[in-house]
């Protein structure tokens, strides 16, 4: 009996299961979206989400731990430089599992699509975007203050520049 035994075996021995999940984690980091069975996708979340948490730490030890799982320096670099910053403002829930409409053709296994909840380049959160919208208004007000100061200085500048401005006109 298998009472109180957690985790899915996925019909594989431990080394094959470990290799399968590592390869699927690599594929998800490369493609940001993959299609697989429901059981594999739910198990894959337990591998990928801790990797993103490591990417948020972004220190040497975290990179080495991620390399132990991924095994490729380019994938570790992509994880820490592109995927990790997407989730700076988030508190978990880095992946999404979406059920597909039709099951797999050969064995009718339920298929799902697993993907990151944010897309690459979507690192700006709603609070940051609203701050950016208000920031240009503050920048617009600042040049208006500068313009008030410049008319006072302009008579001195205009006295020196008319000769310079007259020369380019005949040319």
Q: Over the stretch 83-142, which tens digit does the pLDDT of each residue have?
A: 999 998 878 899 999 999 999 999 999 999 999 999 877 655 555 544 445 555 444 444
Cβ atoms 114, 86 nearer than 8 A: no
* Extents of the domains making up the chain: 14-116, 124-171
Instruction: Report d(CA 41, CA 60) in Å as an integer.
Output: 29
Alpha helices in 13-125 (DSSP H): 14-31, 38-57, 60-70, 73-78, 84-86
Chain segment 10-55, per-residue pLDDT in tens = 999 999 999 999 999 999 999 999 999 999 999 999 999 999 999 9
- CATH number for the segment(s) 14-116: 3.90.1030.10
How far from each other are the two terminal CA atoms of the chain, in whole angstroms?
A: 98
Decide if 39 contacts 97 (C-beta within 8 A): no
Rounded to whole angstroms, the Cα distance separating 20 from 155 reads: 76
Grouping H, G, I as helix, E, B as strand and the rest as coil, residue 82 is helix
């Amino acid at each position: 009996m298998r009472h109180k035994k957690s985790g899915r075996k996925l019909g594989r021995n431990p080394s094959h299961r470990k290799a399968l999940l590592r390869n699927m984690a690599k594929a998800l980091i490369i493609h940001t979206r993959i299609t697989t069975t429901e059981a594999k996708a739910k198990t894959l979340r337990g591998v990928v989400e801790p990797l993103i948490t490591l990417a948020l730490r972004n220190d040497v030890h975290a990179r080495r731990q991620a390399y132990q799982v991924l095994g490729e320096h380019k994938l570790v670099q992509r994880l820490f430089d592109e995927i990790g910053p997407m989730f700076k403002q988030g508190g978990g829930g880095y992946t999404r599992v979406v059920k597909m409409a039709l099951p797999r053709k050969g064995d009718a296994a339920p298929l799902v699509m697993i993907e990151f909840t944010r897309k690459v380049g979507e690192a700006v959160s709603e609070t940051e975007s609203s701050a950016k919208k208000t920031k240009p208004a503050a920048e617009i007000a600042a040049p208006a203050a500068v313009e008030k100061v410049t008319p006072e200085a302009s008579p001195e500048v205009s006295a020196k520049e008319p000769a310079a401005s007259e020369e380019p006109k005949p040319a």
